[in-house]
Amino acid sequence: MTAVADEPAGSGANRAATRQRLVAAAVRLFTRHGFAGTSLQMIADELGFTKAAIYYHFRTREQLLTAVVEPILADLQTVVAAAEQERGAHGRADRMVCGYAEIALRNRALVSVLAGDPSVNEALRTRPEWDAVIDRQMALLADVDPGPAGVVKASMVFSGIAGAAAAEIGDDDFYRYAVEASRRTLGLRATRRPEKA
């Protein structure tokens, strides 16, 4: 076992570095085993830490999950806010599609796990800020085709992009085809080139 901060001693930089290592290990294990299949003990074992070291930083798996998704949540909030500023339902939807595909591209393994693991969805839906951004992004796509059809199409786009993120294809192809397929699903014409920002 590695000697790790089982107690609050040590510099803030060391604590931050340890926290980052824990988050990185959680991402790897969530990707391999899913959220429900990953315990705090597994994360401790992966890093050669004691369980007490994990508890110093994160009391629960849910707290660790929150730390894992915070950067994605921040990116989603930025993309949603930018899309909401576009003119017209089609422009807003197109901006959302391109932004979401870019987030999925930067977080390919994690996005497919987050979207495909019901226990993740259950844990995150208890966070008001996560719930709010999901509702806002859904509305941006569903507004293209008001009513049940719009909701179904929006769900297909987000699920499709997240699921395709795990496909073993190159990043450029993933992004281009995810955007193109999403546009076709929503009936959008390309208002911007499907290139990464």
Spell out the domain ranges in the chain: 12-59, 69-186
Q: Name the burial class of residue 176, with classes exposed (0-12), middle (13-18) and buried (19+) by CB atoms within 10 angstroms of its CB.
A: middle
d(CA 115, CA 76): 14
Burial letters 68-100, b for 16+ CB under 10 A, else e: bbeebbebbbebbeebeebeebbebbbbbbbbb
**pLDDT-based confidence at residue 192 (cuts at 50, 70, 90):** low
User: For residue 191, what pLDDT is reported?
Assistant: 59
Confidence at residue 1, expressed as pLDDT on a 0 to 100 scale? 43
Q: How confident is the model at residue 120 (pLDDT cuts 50, 70, 90)?
A: confident
Is residue 139 scored above 90 in pLDDT?
A: yes
Residue 140, judged by CB atoms within 10 A of its CB (0-12, 13-18, 19+), counts as buried
pLDDT band at 43 (very low <50, low <70, confident <90, very high): very high
Q: What is the DSSP code (8-state) at residue 190?
A: P
Give the per-residue pLDDT at 3.
41
- Percent of the chain scoring above 90 in pLDDT: 60
Q: Is 31 exposed, middle or buried (0-12, 13-18, 19+ CB in 10 A)?
A: middle
Residue 7: both structure tokens together: 């107690």
Average per-residue pLDDT for the chain: 88
Residue 118 has pLDDT above 90, yes or no: no
Class of 12-59 in CATH:
mainly alpha
Within 8 A by CB and 6+ apart from 94, the residues are 86, 183, 188, 190, 191, 192
Once rounded to an integer, what is the mean pLDDT over residues 17-46? 91
What tens digit of pLDDT does each residue of 160-189 get? 999 999 899 999 999 999 999 999 999 998
The whole-number pLDDT of residue 10 equals 56
Question: What confidence tier does 73 reach under pLDDT thresholds 50, 70, 90?
Answer: very high
pLDDT of residue 9: 47
pLDDT at 196: 56
Angle at which helices 12-33 and 108-116 cross, to 10°: 60
Q: What is the pLDDT of residue 2?
A: 44
